[in-house]
Structure 1
C-alpha cells in the first residue's frame, strides 16, 4: 500500500467491522480445512513494489507467506513483508490475511475470488483496509484481475483496480511475465493512474527462482505518490514450497 494513504483515513468503526469479518472468515476457513493442503513462499527482494509504487522507499524487503487450501477450494492465507512509509506513521511491517475460493471452471479457465485484509501492526495511525479481489485465468498463463474496496488505501472512499497479465514460457527454466494495471482513485485522491511491468524469471534450481522486474507508472502516479512512483527495477530471489 502506498505510504501517502495515511493522510486520508476512514472511520475507525467501519474498518474495524470489516477487519472482524475478515478475521472470522479466516478462522472459519481454518476450521473447515480438515483435509487441507499447505504451501508457502518466501522472497528476498531489492524493493517491494506494489501496483507500480515502492512500499519500502526503494529499500530491500524480506517476505514470506503460508496458505491452507481445503478440498472444496476454500483457502486462507497469511503473507508478510517489511515496509517503510512516511516516518510519522511508524509503519515497518505489513501482514495480509486472505480468505477465498479458487478452482477450475473448465479445462482452460480458472477463477479465484477472495477478500484480502491489509494490516500494518506497528503503525501509529490507522492504515488497515480490506479489498475484494477476483482473478480469471486462461490456460494458467493469462489473467484478468479486478479489485474493489470501499476504503481504498485506508481512506473512507471507494477505489477499483484492474490488471491484465501474461506469462510467456521461453523454455523449461525461463519465462517472461508482463502486466498492466489501472487504479481508479478519483473518490479518494481526485485522480487515477496506470502502471506496467515486465519481468524475467529463471528457475535455476527448483523451487528457487530469480526474478528481475522493470516497473513504470504514468505521470499521475508520480503526482499522487511523489518519490514512490515512476520507473524502477527490482530483483528477487524467491521460492515456493
Structure 2
C-alpha cells in the first residue's frame, strides 16, 4: 500500500470535540449546554492532517444532564476525501455523540463511556467504500491524567474489512500557572486485518485561556508513519 493511501482516511486524516482531555472535564461538568468555535492552522486527527496542512473551521455543541448523560455534535471542514479521489465531493466532517460520565464515589477517578458517529456527507464514485464510521469508547481519568479506548463497529474510515479496529489514547493536562495548561498525549491506532496501517502518534503543546472565553493553543505533533511530516499547529477558540 502506498504512503499516499496510508495518509488518506484509515488514519483519519480528537483536536476534536471528544478530545481525550475532555474525559476529566465531562466527568465534573455541570448540567447545561456548552459550545465552541475554533479556527485552526491544520486539523489533525490522531496525528494525521485532515486538511492537507491547510486551515480548518470547526464548531461543536454539547448538552449535559445532572445525571451525567451527555449528547452533542461537532463539525469541521476537511479535504482528505476529495484529495484522495477527484470523484469525491465531501468537504465536511459532521460528528454526533452520546455518552455517560461520572466519578467513582468521592474519589478523583472519573469514567466516561459513549459512542461517536463520524459522517462525511457528499457524492462518492460507484464502489467507493463509505468513510462513515461508528466508534464506541470508554475512558478513565485521574487528576491530570486520562486514557480512552475507541472500538470501531464499522469499517474504519473507509478501509475495507477493518471493522473492530481500535485506538488507545493517553494524555496529561497540567495547569502549571493560572490560565496556562501544558498538554501532552500519545496514542496507538490498530487497523484490523490491515496491520500495515497500524501506527503511533504523540503531541505536546500549551494552551492559554482568557476570561472572555477565548483560548489560544499551540502544539507539536508527530507520528511514526514513514513519509509523513511532523506538524506544528496553532488554534484560536471561543467557548460559549
- Bucket of the pairwise TM-score, normalised by the shorter protein: 0.7 to 0.9
Instruction: State whether residues 131 and 156 of structure 2, in contact with CA within 8 Å, keep that contact through their aligned partners in structure 1.
Output: no
Q: Gapped runs of 5+ residues in structure 1?
A: 7-34
Match of 2:152 in 1: 149
Q: State the shift of 1:93 in Å.
A: 0.2
Q: Tell me, yes or no, if structure 1 residue 71 matches structure 2 residue 66.
A: yes
In structure 2, stretches of 5+ residues that fail to align are 1-5, 11-29
- CA RMSD after TM alignment: 2.0
Q: Is the CA contact (8 Å cut-off) linking 1:37 and 1:68 kept in structure 2?
A: yes
Q: Say which SS state the counterpart of residue 9 (structure 2) adopts.
A: helix
What aligned pairs does 1:35-184 form with structure 2 within 5 A after superposition?
37-85=32-80, 86=83, 87-106=86-105, 107-124=107-124, 125=128, 126-139=130-143, 141-150=144-153, 151-155=155-159, 156-157=161-162, 158-184=164-190
The 2-side partners of 1:61 and 1:190 are apart by 29
CA distance in 2, matches of 1:96, 1:120: 9
- Looking at structure 2, the residues matched to 36 and 194 of structure 1 have their Cα atoms a distance apart, in angstroms, of 35
Residues 8-45 of structure 1, C-alpha deviations (whole Å, 9 max, x = no match): xxxxxxxxxxxxxxxxxxxxxxxxxxx96111111110
- Residue by residue over 1:46-105, the C-alpha shift from the partner in whole angstroms, topping out at 9 and shown as x without a partner, is 100000000000110110001111221111110000000223322200000001111122
Deviations 1:193-240 (A, max 9, x none): 00100011111444111000110101xx23xxx6xx330111000122
What residue is the counterpart of 2:22 in the other structure? none
CA distance in 1, matches of 2:66, 2:210: 31
What TM-score does the superposition give when structure 1 sets the normalisation length?
Answer: 0.79
**Alignment: residue pair count:** 204
Is contact 1:3–1:55 with CA below 8 Å preserved after alignment?
Answer: no
CA distance in 2, matches of 1:45, 1:109: 32
TM-score normalised by L of structure 2 = 0.79
Distance (Å, rounded) in 1 between the aligned partners of 2:72 and 2:175: 27
Say which SS state the counterpart of residue 194 (structure 2) adopts: helix
In the alignment, does 2:196 pair up with 1:190?
Answer: yes
Residues 92 and 123 of structure 1 are in contact (CA less than 8 Å); yes or no, is this contact kept in structure 2? Answer: no
Greater share of helix: 1
SS at match of 1:153: coil
